[in-house]
Structure 1
Amino acid sequence: MGKILKYAFRITHIDNIPHILKFGLLLADSSMCDEKFVSIGDPQVINIRKMLMVGGKNLRDYVPFYLGPRTPMLYVIQHGYNGVRRQDPAGIVYCVLRLADLIRDKVDCFFTDGHALSALTKIYEKDRLPEICQIINYDDVYVSQWNNDSDIDLKRRKEAELLIKGDVPPDYIRGYIVYNDDAKEKLKSFGIAEELIVVAPNYYF
């Protein structure tokens, strides 16, 4: 049996975690939004996504997740490129969802075989989610280096996305990945059980 895609990842600033524990992962215009929310994304990309329609769907109505770790966006965030404020890796947390939970509950979502903003990307409705391992190549989304002269499309495929409609309740978050033990201790201070926190510096740059 080949490698199986089991998880979806959303990165956020560690200071957002207390609010996320209470309200979940929210749309930008959610009524439950945190006034003190610390944004770590690319403002230009965020604004484009607010206006973009993909397959007849308005991306502003969906919370996006990546299907693998160590993404090009994380690289930009950690290094402060493209006008994005540089973030220390210890301040970045992965919130982890299980695809099996979304399939079980028939959560309203869709997924893509590459970056959602690319014209080359195809979208797949929620009824195809059980087939995701046949559609998305595990090695593509988990690859560490995406600049490949023999495969110039790899970076697009690396950024395959799962997009969930509406706010995502906190019960769907099955675990957290952090950079080091200091970040782990901070999450524990928020009331998160130790067994739900994984220290994985290899998921960062």
Structure 2
Amino acid sequence: MTRRTRILHFTHEDNLVQIFGRGGLVCDKQRRSSGIESRNVAYSDLKLERSQTIVEVPPGGTLDDYVPFYFGPKSPMMLTYMNGNVTGSLEDLNEIVYFVSSAQHVEASGLKFAFTDGHPVKQPRFFYNDLADLGEVDHALMWQKWWHDTDEYPDRKRRRQAEFLVWREMPLTEIDHLVTKSHPKRLEVESMLSNWDLDIPCRAWPSWYY
């Protein structure tokens, strides 16, 4: 049995209604063109850079043509969001929800994808679109709590921010489960899923959060 490579996308709970109603996660370019409002959990200037960064393997386009997933929890972006560097005030990670799938699931579904070995905007950066190249990703690093550069590993922070990129849209039918920080929040999300007749499991895994 092939070992699955887990991929994780996180968003604010305020975005769940439009995600559930639409039936999937959509890329930033499609969200803008459709006038979809969302609560941002990333730097606005970084989103601008992503809209100008070419994905150097098919299906091509720019980073904002893709729904981004990380290869592990506790990403640097989650930490900087929690610390108020995105919104200007400290944020509660209990309001953050993960959407979880796997690289193998995406490939089997026929969805187009690409992935990187590190931060997709910062140089050096390398793009791939063949799961045979997943070894270029430092998977052990993805599940460590801390990822700061060290003398022994000066490229650790960049590599920790590797992304799996799904072209245009990630349907909820391809999501394995959702994850919340607390059990009360899990119950809230499960109630929302039920209201939308969505049969997606939800789990509370506080270890995935700072």
3-state SS of paired residue (1:96): strand
Does the C-alpha gap of structure 1 residues 169 and 85 become closer, same or farther in structure 2, counting only changes over 3 Å? Answer: farther
1:15 and 1:90 mapped to 2: Cα distance?
A: 12
> Are 1:70 and 2:74 an aligned pair?
yes
Shift of 1:174: 1.4
> Are 1:99 and 2:100 an aligned pair?
no
Residue 175 of structure 2 aligns with which residue?
173
3-state SS of paired residue (1:17): helix
3-state SS of paired residue (1:53): coil
Residue 29 of structure 1 aligns with which residue?
29
Aligned length in residues:
199
Alignment of 1:49-128 (within 5 A): 49-55=50-56, 57-81=61-85, 85-125=89-129, 128=130
Percent identical among aligned pairs is 25
The one-letter code sitting in structure 1 at the alignment partner of 2:47 is I
2:164 and 2:67 mapped to 1: Cα distance?
A: 8
The normalised TM-score by structure 2 is: 0.85
Residue 49 of structure 2 aligns with which residue?
48
1:182 and 1:41 mapped to 2: Cα distance?
A: 25
The one-letter code sitting in structure 1 at the alignment partner of 2:153 is D
Deviation per CA, 1:150-171, whole angstroms, max 9, x where unpaired?
2111111111111111122121
2:87 and 2:154 mapped to 1: Cα distance?
A: 25
The normalised TM-score by structure 1 is: 0.87
2:42 and 2:162 mapped to 1: Cα distance?
A: 17
Is contact 1:41–1:84 with CA below 8 Å preserved after alignment? no
How large is the RMSD of aligned CA atoms in angstroms?
2.2
Alignment of 1:111-150 (within 5 A): 111-125=115-129, 128-132=130-134, 134-149=135-150, 150=152
Shift of 1:86: 3.4
3-state SS of paired residue (2:73): coil
Deviation per CA, 1:87-144, whole angstroms, max 9, x where unpaired?
201100111112221121232110111010121121111xx12542x33232121121
